[in-house]
Amino acid sequence: MEKFIKLTDTAVPLPIENIDTDQIIPARFLKSTDKQGFGDNVFRDWRYDHEGNENKDFVLNDDTYGGSILVAGDNFGCGSSREHAAWAIAGYGFKVVISSFFADIFKGNALNNGILPIQVTPEYLKELLQIIKEKPETKLTIDLENQVLSSPAGELEFEIDPYKKVCMINGYDDIDFLISKKDKIEAFERERSF
């Protein structure tokens, strides 16, 4: 997993609520057996029409906006557990998603793929979306070590599980940690009554 320490970049606004993982990556693209190429189809049915032409009014097709930070509406990533959604977000080039609320499974999947989900207050989100809309060149800074998001909407301390923070900063994942617990796991198996 890639390390994440600090990032300063512009952001892409997507002020839609309840963006489910079927919108992030529709099921018909889940037939692949590797993790590559999902970025090409992120938000596929919003980005392209049925003939494969770009929908000009969708934000990813609007050159005004760009950057590796996605700022999205409330309850981002709800629905299916497909990690393909996280691979699609990362594959497109996003490293951070900011929203006022994240669905549980997506949040975990994001962290397991080096994408930082940052939860902000609904008021902060609203202001941030407005600022980006008016000034697309606005830069945001994310300092994971200090857990601070800085933007013209203000400095905001965000929360992250301390263990996950260490993983993100060092590029570790859970597999190595769990394997290191082998003895305890085997002891549990021996001693449990049910």
Partner 1 sequence: MAGKTLFDKVWDAHVVDTVPNGPQVLYIDKHLIHEVTSPQAFSELEERGIPVARPDQIVATADHNTPTIDQHLPVRDLLSRNQLKQLTENCEKHGITLYGLGHKYNGIVHVMAPELGITQPGMTMVCGDSHTSTHGAFGTIAFGIGTSQVAQVFASQCLLLTKPKSLRVNVNGKLKPNVLPKDVILYVISQIGTNAGTGYFCEYAGNVFEEMSMEGRMTVCNMSIEMGARGGMIAPDQTTFDYVKGREFAPEGAEWDKKLEYLKTLPTDADAVFDKEYSFDASQIEPMVTYGTNPGMGIKVTGTIPDKDDVNLEKALAYMNFKKGESLIDKPINYVFIGSCTNSRIEDFRIAANFVKGKQKAANVNAWLVPGSQQVAKQLVEEGLDKVFTEAGFALRQPGCSACLAMNDDKIPEGEYCVSTSNRNFEGRQGQGARTILASPLMAAATAVAGKITDITKQLN
- Least Cβ distance, residue 14 to partner 1 (angstroms): 13
170: part of which helix (H) or strand (E)? helix 162-170
CB of 161 to partner 1, least distance (A): 6
For β-strands 11-14 and 140-143, DSSP reports them as: unpaired
Q: Which is nearer to partner 1, 5 or 185 (CB)?
A: 185
Q: Would you say 157 or 179 has its CB closer to partner 1?
A: 179
Q: How far is the CB of 194 from partner 1 (least distance, A)?
A: 5
With a CB cutoff of 8 Å and minimum separation 6, the contacts of 11 are 65, 67, 69, 70, 71, 98, 128, 132, 138, 140
CB of 53 to partner 1, least distance (A): 14
Binding site for partner 1 (CB under 8 A): 16-18, 20, 22-23, 26-28, 30-35, 45, 50, 74-75, 78-84, 86, 101-105, 108-109, 112-113, 161-163, 173-175, 177-179, 181-182, 184-185, 188-189, 192-194
Shortest Å, Cβ 141 to partner 1: 26
* C-alpha to C-alpha distance for 148 and 142, rounded to whole angstroms: 6
Are 98 and 151 in contact by the 8 Å Cβ rule? The answer is no
> Minimum distance between the CB of residue 36 and partner 1, rounded to whole angstroms?
10
Residue whose CB is less far from partner 1, 118 or 140: 118
In one-letter notation, the amino acid at residue 120 is V
Q: Which is nearer to partner 1, 90 or 140 (CB)?
A: 90
Kindly report each contact of residues 101-105 with a partner whose C-beta sits within 8 Å and lies 24 or more positions away, as own/partner: 101/74, 101/75, 101/76, 102/75, 102/76, 102/77, 103/75, 103/76, 103/77, 103/78, 103/79, 105/77, 105/81
- In the bound state with partner 1, the residue whose beta carbon lies nearer, of 83 and 144, is 83
Radius of gyration of the chain measured on its C-alpha atoms: 18
Nearer to partner 1 (CB atom), residue 143 or residue 173? 173
